[in-house]
Amino acid sequence: MTVQTVLPPYLEAFDGFVPEIDPTVFVHRTAAVIGRVRIGADASIWPHVTLRGDEGEIEVGPATNIQDNSVVHMTGGQSHSRIGARITIGHACIIHGCIIEDDCLIGMGSTILDNAVIGRGSYIGAGTLIPGNKVIPPGSFVFGNPFKIHRPVNARDTAWIDYAWRHYREVAAKYRGVTPIPAGPRP
């Protein structure tokens, strides 16, 4: 007799892989988390986000938030998606087979393609296109389509990066019905 595991409606096994999600994670019921996906503690996955680990692995680090209508995928045999800790990925982003190091903010509507690397502590402005295989140095303030590195992040940028992940951790705790850790004042 085969025992079948009943998964929440937002989770789907694929090719023998079942997503691994820390119990402190908030995943909205309209999200789709499929296959080889690992999500770390206190992360949040918001409405209509798709994490499709059918062509490779997706790793989402602790306290990271992926906001509404974003897609994380990769090109099979060529890339995986690794998203570090304390990352904010804004609404409607495409994160495709790239690496985003810790403590970054990815602005709404941005696209980051296969094997690109976003260095730790970077701020990617809304609507930015980062083509495949590009490397953004740590602590860069980047925007444009195509992208341009405009300057190093400053204290205000770093404050926004820090506030954003803390804010979404707070909101996710409210959705989960637990006492939130306050994000603190907006920068």
Identity of residue 100: I
Instruction: At 48, list the tokens.
Output: 């209509």
Q: Residue 183: inside a domain, yes or no?
A: no
Q: Residue 159: inside a domain, yes or no?
A: yes
Domain that holds residue 46: 11-176
Domain count, the chain: 1
Q: Residue 152: inside a domain, yes or no?
A: yes
Q: Residue 5: inside a domain, yes or no?
A: no
Q: Residue 36: inside a domain, yes or no?
A: yes
- pTM metric for this prediction: 0.94
Residues with Cβ < 8 Å from 19, sequence gap 6 or more? 11, 12, 13, 33, 34, 35, 36, 37, 38, 39, 51, 53
Tell me the mean pLDDT in the region 24-28: 96
Beta-strand runs (E) in 61-173: 65-66, 71-73, 81-83, 88-89, 94-96, 99-100, 105-106, 111-112, 117-118, 123-124, 129-130, 135-136, 140-143, 148-152
Q: Which CATH number goes with the domain that contains 122?
A: 2.160.10.10
Q: Residue 99: inside a domain, yes or no?
A: yes
Q: How confident is the model at residue 4 (pLDDT cuts 50, 70, 90)?
A: low
Q: Residue 32: inside a domain, yes or no?
A: yes
Q: Residue 120: inside a domain, yes or no?
A: yes
Integer Cα distance of 123 and 118 in angstroms = 9
**pLDDT score at 181:** 82
